[in-house]
Chains A and B, each alone.
Chain A
Amino acid sequence: MRVTHWLTVIAFFALLITGAEIVISHPRFYWGETGNSGTTPLFKIPIPSSRDTVPSGYNYVMPDQNGWSRYLHFEAAWVLVLTGLVYIVASLFTAHFRNNLIPPRADRRWRAIRDVFARYLRRAPPREAESHSYNVVQRIAYLSVIFVLFPLVIWTGLALSPAFDSAVPAAVNLLGGRQSARTLHFFVSLLLVGFLGVHIAMIVLAGFWSRMRAMITGRVSPSERP
């Protein structure tokens, strides 16, 4: 299980870096089916492009990194998807979702969620249970990433494949067209990066090395044990 976490970390960083490189070749986003340098974008990212056909407003063309970026993006996507499948199957076998991620009945209330945030804001020390189990906000965040954001980023990515769309046209039509799918792929990726930012911040606050050791070896130090 911990192996799947670290494989996902490697694949995610590869996807993030190569995805950024691919965006640089056309840092303009559109809505609907079509969009190009001759049409009005929904928004632009204010950076130079790696193509001189893109009106970026900068008199500078970035180096083109699309070839290896695209190869690596799709290979890392396979690693992510296959790792995700292993994780889901293993989790079903070990009842990981039921035991560790689905919030217990008592916590399925706004009050429980508010309490967690209140403790975070007061920077209260974690409850004893939290060193070996997740609180309700963590559980909701992890479940959203696993069952909402990752499926969405995979769907919007697949919708950008002209061959996949020929077999499953609804994959792109339901999203409102090719350019809408590309824009949504970008925003879902940003949400995942947002999660990563908070995730890392929390690890740092909780003690970077102790959390890293726990996630790599599966052991918590004796002082943290209940």
Chain B
Amino acid sequence: MSNISRRKLITTGIAATAGLAGLAVASRIARRYGLIPPDSGGIYGPGETLTYAAQRLLTSHSLAREFPRDMISKVPFANETAPPSDAFKRHQATEFADWRLTVDGMVAHPTAFSLADLKALPVHNQITEVACEEGWSYVAEWIGTPLVNVLDAVGILPQARYVVYFSIEPDWWESIDMADALHPQTFLTLGMNDGDLPVKFGGPLRLRVPRQLGYKSVKYITHITATDSLKRFGKGLGSASPEAGYAWYAGI
């Protein structure tokens, strides 16, 4: 083919070295500013990292779209869940009177909140869309207290970098970074469309993360923990989703 001159070889070599050095510096800076997702390993890691880093730079404070009341879906669609566990059924029998949300980890005052405790915090509403990774969506009004109120109440420590949240149902847990945890639209949701949150939509307590796909909005929340590292949770990939082959960051 073409003759490669010495000059071309040298310039290519310098360019490649500069490129590699640039990548190394970029990855250090990205790590420092929290732009690397926990599932950044493997063959899909570079794509995920680019998506997460680009979106964190672009969207850290942006608000999910809210809709007028007349756009609330007449037919919201509740995705199917596994049959409820016995633990859930016992709470259901007592109309969730003993439901507790335990908040612990990197907080000054670990606390267990009843549903009444949560309703005593400032309650807001938002009309936002649930978008499923499969492609379907609906708009509903969600009523609850922003997660940030609960994190303030327990005195979240400044070292905390992620909030991990668990369903009462086994192997159902997710985590979000502080940009989403402190975001005003991230709700501990107690109600939907002017009523209590129905069980099939996650009642009595669902964490709504409207800037991410529906699977980040875990149903039946009983436990929240603040942490500076996701390594010691599950397989260390950030949440149950990457363990099942789905991306940790679902803002896409």
Interface stretch of the complex, out of A65-73, A84-92, A98-106: A65-73
Instruction: Give the distance to chain A from B9, nearest Cβ to Cβ, in Å.
Output: 18
For A53-76 the 0/1 string (1 means CB < 8 A from B) is: 110000000000011101110111
Q: Which residues of A contact B159 (CB under 8 A)?
A: none
Interface stretch of the complex, out of A118-126, A165-173, A189-197: A165-173
The 10 closest A-B pairs by CB, nearest first: A75-B47, A67-B245, A163-B251, A38-B75, A71-B44, A36-B77, A36-B136, A26-B135, A166-B62, A25-B134
| Residues of chain B whose beta carbon lies under 8 Å from any beta carbon of chain A | 1, 44, 46-48, 50-51, 55, 58-59, 62-65, 67, 71, 73, 75-77, 79-80, 129, 131-139, 210-213, 244-247, 251-252
Instruction: Give the distance to chain A from B24, nearest Cβ to Cβ, in Å.
Output: 19
Interface centre among B63, B67, B73 (most CB of A within 10 A): B73
The answer on a CB contact under 8 Å between B251 and A162 is: yes
The answer on a CB contact under 8 Å between B136 and A26 is: yes
A149 lies within 8 A of chain B by Cβ:
no
The answer on a CB contact under 8 Å between B134 and A179 is: no
A-B contact pairs, 16 of them (CB 8 A): A22-B135, A36-B75, A36-B76, A37-B77, A66-B133, A67-B244, A71-B44, A71-B245, A74-B51, A78-B46, A162-B213, A165-B64, A166-B62, A167-B62, A173-B65, A217-B1
Q: Which residues of A contact B64 (CB under 8 A)?
A: 162, 165-166
Return the chain A residue nearest B57 by Cβ. Answer: A167
Interface centre among A25, A54, A162 (most CB of B within 10 A): A162
The answer on a CB contact under 8 Å between A53 and B79 is: yes
The answer on a CB contact under 8 Å between B46 and A75 is: yes
| Residues of chain A whose beta carbon lies under 8 Å from any beta carbon of chain B | 22-23, 25-26, 28, 33-39, 51-54, 66-68, 70-72, 74-78, 160-167, 169, 172-173, 178-179, 182, 217
Query: In the complex, what distance in Å separates the CA atom of A58 from the CA atom of B65?
Result: 36
The answer on a CB contact under 8 Å between B134 and A163 is: no
Q: Which residues of B contact A52 (CB under 8 A)?
A: 80
The answer on a CB contact under 8 Å between B211 and A68 is: no
The answer on a CB contact under 8 Å between B211 and A163 is: yes
The answer on a CB contact under 8 Å between B51 and A78 is: yes
The answer on a CB contact under 8 Å between B136 and A35 is: yes
The answer on a CB contact under 8 Å between A66 and B134 is: yes
Return the chain A residue nearest B131 by Cβ. Answer: A162
Instruction: Give the distance to chain A from B179, nearest Cβ to Cβ, in Å.
Output: 10
Given A34-B137, A68-B44, A166-B65, residue A178 in contact with residue B131 (CB < 8 A): yes
Point out the residue from A163, A178, A217 that lies within 8 Å of B212, measured CB to CB. Answer: A163
The answer on a CB contact under 8 Å between A71 and B247 is: yes
Point out the residue from A26, A67, A160, A163 that lies within 8 Å of B55, measured CB to CB. Answer: A163
The answer on a CB contact under 8 Å between A33 and B212 is: no
The answer on a CB contact under 8 Å between A74 and B252 is: yes
Point out the residue from A53, A160, A169 that lies within 8 Å of B252, measured CB to CB. Answer: A160
The answer on a CB contact under 8 Å between A66 and B246 is: yes
Return the chain A residue nearest B55 by Cβ. Answer: A163
Q: Which residues of B contact A67 (CB under 8 A)?
A: 244-246
Instruction: Give the distance to chain B from A34, nearest Cβ to Cβ, in Å.
Output: 5
Given A53-B79, A182-B135, residue A34 in contact with residue B1 (CB < 8 A): no
The answer on a CB contact under 8 Å between A34 and B129 is: yes
Instruction: Give the distance to chain B from A109, nearest Cβ to Cβ, in Å.
Output: 39
